[in-house]
Amino acid sequence: MTGRSAISPFFHQLRMTDSLTACDIRWPAWPVFDQTEETALLDVLRSGKWWFGERVRRFEAEYAAFQGSRYAVTCTNGTTALEMALRALGVVEGDEVIVPCYSFIATASAVVTVGAVPVFADICPDSLCIDPDDVERKITDRTKAVIPVHVAGLIADMDRLQKIAEAHDLVLLEDAAHAWGSQLDGRGAGTLSRAGTFSFQETKNITAGEGGILVTDSEELADLCRSFTHCGRAKRSQWYDHDYLGSNLRMTEFQAAILSCQLARLSDQIAVRDANAARISHILSGLDLILPPPAPRMTRRSWHIYIFRLGPEREPVRDRIVERLNQAGVPVLAGWYRPLYRNVVFQRAHQGPPHGIRSPLAARGVDYRTTDCPVCEQVCRDAVWIPQNVLLADSGDVERAARIIRTVIEQESGR
C-alpha cells in the first residue's frame, strides 16, 4: 500500500516528549492508493472522456450493489447529497426536520439550504446516535422528516425511528456519511429508510478527495435526484429541456475511476478495522470507560472512528490525556464535534435582517440560544477519537498503542 498523509494533523505521526516509552510506530498514511488508481486515472485522461459518463455509471452500479440498494445517484459531495435528498423527499420551506446535535454541520445546514428549519435532538450516551425518545419529544405539527446519523459507522436505532416515523407520517433520511459498508441484519446503511446519503471527502474511509452519493430502492426518487444534479433534466428529455428545478452537481469520470478502485479494497479494510477495534476494546476493558457498544445485529461495521468516552469524572483531564497520547505518538483527538446549535449560524438565527449566507434563518421564528442537549454537551467534553487510518495498522502496533492509552488513563486517573 502506498499513499500520503491527509492535510489534517489528525493523521500525522507524533513523537514522545514525556515519561512514557516512545511509540515510534509509523501509522498507515491516508488516503491509501496504489498503481490501480494511477492506471484508472490515466485511462480516463487518455480517453478524453472526462465528463459524467460510463465511469460514473459503473461506480453507481458498483456502490448500489455494495450497499444493497436498487439505485445510486452520485453528486459533488455529501452535503449536496443531503440537499438533493431533502428536496426529492418533499421537504419545503417552513417544514421542520429533526436532526442530531452530534454531527458535522452539513446534517443541519442542508436543512436550512432547502428552506426548512432544523430541530436539534439529543443523542444516546453509548451509541452517540440520535435518541429516539428525544425525537418523539421534538415532533410538532410542522415536522416533516428525521435525519438519523450513523455515527462512526454504528447504525442508529432504526427500528424505533421507523415506528416513530410511521406513527407521525414522517420521512426518514439516513445520513450515512460514516457508514460505507455498515450493515444491520445484512441490510446496508442507507437502505433502512427511503434513502441514505454518503460522503467521499478526503478523510472518509472511501475517498476521491470529494464526492457524494445517494442510495434508494425508489426509481422515482432516484430519477428526481438525478434530475436535480443534472440541471433539472428529466429522464429521456431533450438536452435543453429542463423539466424541474436543478443544479450542476455531477461527479466527474476522474472521481468515479478513483472510487471504483477504493471500493474494491473496502471490504478487506473494513475487516481489518473491525478486528483492530475489538483489540482496543479488549485492552481498554475494565477501566470504567464508555466504550463503543457491541452491535450484535450489525453484520458489518465500518468504524470510521473509534470513539470512547472518559466519563464526567475524568472530563477535567481529557485534554491532558489527549495531549500526552499525542506526545507519545498515539494519534488521538478530542473530537471535531461540538453541539451543532452552538455554531454561530444557529446562535444568531434570531437576528436579522434575513440574508442567504449571513443570517439564513432570520425572521423564521427560531431561537437556538436556549437549546440544550445535555448528553451531547457531556460527550463533547469527555470523548476521545481514534482515526480510521490507525485502525488499518498492524495488529501488534494497535495493541501497543492501546496499552499506552490504558497506561495514560490509569496515570491521569490516579492524580
Catalytic residues: 104, 175, 178, 201, 204, 233, 240, 250
Q: Which of 52, 11, 15, 17 is nearest to 29 (CA)?
A: 11
Residues 250, 368 contacting (CB under 8 angstroms):
no
Q: Which of 77, 81, 80, 54 is nearest to 215 (CA)?
A: 81
**Could you tell me which residues come within 8 angstroms of residue 344 by beta carbon, excluding any fewer than 6 positions away?**
none
Grid coordinates representing 273 are 478495522
Residues 294, 277 contacting (CB under 8 angstroms):
no
Q: Which of 167, 227, 220, 217 is nearest to 196 (CA)?
A: 217
- Cα separation, 308 vs 350, whole angstroms: 35
